[in-house]
Structure 1
């Protein structure tokens, strides 16, 4: 697949603003490896090879185990994740697949049972930010390095 448009070069002001938002989301106090797992999972769901590659690499650098990275798509069937990571991944799926289920109450309730209100708001911001980046990368065919 060929890249359709280098959106970073085509609209640097927009990318700068998006990067600032992501930078803020990354510095809200959420655990780094957990945040990278969330970003990798959203990117998997969106079929975004570029960001899957980047965030699985960053998750490893943040200390996430390979078996967790491999098991993220089957989180309900694995014993690999803490309750917080499990809740964060579930909330990620709920928000990434928003048109299918409209963020079910059960997913929200599990999220808030494991995170404070601030953490839930911060995680929701982080999820919305990676979903936005996924849409740019998939739509304009940004490819990971070979």
Structure 2
């Protein structure tokens, strides 16, 4: 891949604020394994190899099994996810593809049945953060040379 702008060096205070927000959302109080499933799912949709590499590893560290990680691509058909996880994954799919999928009432109702109003906002912010990181990683070809992956 061609070298592109180093966002860490060129991003200045605005990038630092973005990074700090990412760290805050990570500590929002939602289950770590749920957040990692959401990050993997959004990264699958966005085709971000870096984030898939990073967050599948983080999901394993959070206790996720290989089976549940591999089945995320077909989560709607896989019976191994809880109603709360299914609601979060449905919301992730729709928020990640908002231009075409929008936010239908049925998807929101499933979310509202499993998440408090505060948790809904936290989850949506987490989805926004991973989608932003996917776009930064894909757009700027971020990579970790030691891994050979975009980073």
TM-score interval, smaller chain: over 0.9
**RMSD of aligned Cα (Å):** 1.2
| TM value normalised by structure 1 | 0.94
**How far apart are residue 15 of structure 1 and its match?**
2.6
**How far apart are residue 14 of structure 1 and its match?**
2.6
**How far apart are residue 7 of structure 1 and its match?**
1.1
CA distance change for structure 1 residues 45 and 103 in 2, over 3 Å: closer, same or farther? Answer: same
Instruction: Confirm or deny: 8 A CA contact 1:49 1:143 kept in the other structure.
Output: no
CA distance in 2, matches of 1:70, 1:120: 25
Which stretches of structure 1, 4 residues or longer, exceed 4 Å deviation after superposition? none
- Matching residue of 1:135: 135
Number of positions where the alignment pairs a residue of Structure 1 with one of Structure 2: 146
Aligned to 2:76, the other structure's residue is in SS state helix
CA distance in 2, matches of 1:65, 1:135: 27
Higher relative contact order (CA 8 A, sep 6+): 1
Gap runs ≥5 in structure 2: none
CA distance in 2, matches of 1:14, 1:115: 31
CA distance in 1, matches of 2:55, 2:102: 25
- Matching residue of 2:30: 30
List per-residue Cα deviations over 1:95-128 (Å, max 9, x = no partner).
0000002122211111111111111110001001
**How far apart are residue 23 of structure 1 and its match?**
1.3
- Matching residue of 1:120: 120
**How far apart are residue 8 of structure 1 and its match?**
1.4
Alignment partner of 1:77 is 2:77: yes
CA distance in 2, matches of 1:38, 1:3: 29
